[in-house]
Chains A and B, each alone.
Chain A
Amino acid sequence: MYMRCVVIATFIGGLLLAAPCVAEEGVIGSIHNAAGKVVVVRDGNQIKPEPGLRLKAGDILQTGSNGTVGIVLWDDSTVALGTSSEIQLTEFRFKPAQKDFSLVLRMVKGTFVYVPGRIAKLAPDSVKIETPAGLAAVQGTKLLAKVK
């Protein structure tokens, strides 16, 4: 969003510079639910994942032996983690006006439920689900994955 605001401001020669860039920089989604032990690791720091917490590209989510977490990304894809699981939200760009799309998720270990969103619909090749077993691709359906 920040980038988009910069682009727009340049494009119209400063007319919109005063307009608020309402979205926080780099936000890509939010925590929907979290139970048990769950941490979000951002730039090496641990954040407690309350529902509604905004997520950023690069965030790592980890669940403990009794933890689960569900998130929604801003292209309306959803991801849920079972216990003892870890995922990195490596990359996310969703800018339909610029036709700029990218979603890279790295499922490190554990169990996952993934439902693809608009990026998968608009630009299927821009979605990469990395797992220890290789790259997974999902179209128009729900994926259940157990990886280690």
Chain B
Amino acid sequence: MRPFRQLALVSVLFLLLAGCATTKNTFVLAPHPAGNVGTVSVTNSMGRGDVSGVGETLLVDNASAAPRLGGPMDQAKIDKLFAKALAAEPPQPKVFLLYFKTESADPDKNSMTLLDSVVQEVKNTNSLDIGITGHADRSGEDDYNMQLSLKRAQEVQRLLVDRGVPLERFNIEYSGEGDLLVPTADNVHEPRNRRVEVVVR
């Protein structure tokens, strides 16, 4: 009997260890902070799982097991698993668009007013990371527009620094006429493309 009991014990231990070793990966779909609900999928060599409803889950033991549907997860379980990570979730970056007259690096009147809202947002969120990207429309030469988009971005940075935002919080990029808000043919004046985008992160 003794060898059998040992074998039984070993078998039980093996099953327990195997149970522990089963890697459970859990993927839960939650609404986007803007309110919309999209899709989540997980793909590995054994298959693919797709979910598209709030709280729906995909479970995967490991990379050698096909993803499977886990059904909806209730809020209590979500809080239990993800409370710490959810508490560390940064707010969504806020985007401001400033507009310019043709060939000018000075923001138009409305955009000058909008600068105050940018400063307020920086204060409210204590943002340390503010992105400024300059753009131009397609009137004029490419290289001229590249410089103009940089000048616009630098001018917006200067105006925000004047209003008390520390210089080291900014990063400047510029795209010339390469990243249009409204696609146009070359040499077309388009006020909506003459812009600087400020992102408060």
Contacts and interface: CB of A to CB of B under 8 A. Distances in A.
Instruction: Say whether A associates with B.
Output: yes
Interface of A: 1, 4, 8, 11-12, 15-16, 19, 22-24, 27, 29-30, 32-33, 35, 51-52, 54, 68-72, 74, 76, 78, 80-83, 85, 96-98, 111-113, 115, 131-148
Contact of B36 (A29, A69, A74, A140): A140
Given A27-B171, A30-B201, 17 more contacts: A1-B173, A19-B150, A22-B172, A23-B171, A30-B128, A32-B90, A70-B88, A72-B93, A76-B92, A113-B82, A131-B42, A136-B41, A137-B39, A140-B37, A141-B31, A141-B36, A144-B28
A133 B67 contact: yes
B121 interface: no
Which 9 pairs across A and B sit closest by C-beta, in order of nearness? A134-B44, A140-B38, A97-B178, A52-B128, A141-B38, A82-B85, A133-B60, A133-B25, A32-B90
B78 A144 contact: yes
Contacts of A78: 89-90, 92-93
Contact of A15 (B26, B82, B143): B143
Interface string B154-174: 000000000000000111110
Given A96-B178, A131-B25, A82 B171 contact: no
A72 B94 CA distance: 12
B160 to A, nearest CB: 13
A97 B176 contact: yes
B107 to A, nearest CB: 19
B93 A76 contact: yes
B116 to A, nearest CB: 22
B55 to A, nearest CB: 10
A134 B63 contact: yes
A83 to B, nearest CB: 5
Contacts of A141: 29-32, 36-40
